[in-house]
């Protein structure tokens, strides 16, 4: 396996961007981020589903035949 053909995950950068945006919004607008997170908590399994879909897409993109 060639190092240049290795696919990189988008999940890590997307998580960091999301966390950064949440803190930036809180700093700029004085929103209560903990209240928002409490309301979103029941939907945490969606994060696992999205990460799984990203991994599947990366797998199929990496294993597609070169034309």
The C-alpha torsion from 41 through 55 and 21 to 47, rounded to 10°, is -10
- Average pLDDT of the chain to the nearest whole number: 77
Cβ density class 26-62: b for 16+ within 10 Å, e for less: eeeeeeeeeeeeeeeeeeeeeeeeebeeeeeeeeeee
pTM over 0.75: no
pLDDT tens for residues 23-55? 887 777 776 777 877 888 888 888 888 888 888
Q: Where are the domains of the chain?
A: 9-62
End-to-end CA distance of the chain: 18
Position 5 pLDDT exceeds 80: no
């Amino acid at each position: 396996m060639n190092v240049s053909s290795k696919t990189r995950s988008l999940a890590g950068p997307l998580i960091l961007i999301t966390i950064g945006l949440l803190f930036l919004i809180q700093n700029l607008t004085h929103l209560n981020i903990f209240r928002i997170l409490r309301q979103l908590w029941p939907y945490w399994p969606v994060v696992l589903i999205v990460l799984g879909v990203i991994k599947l897409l990366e797998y199929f993109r990496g294993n597609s035949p070169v034309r």
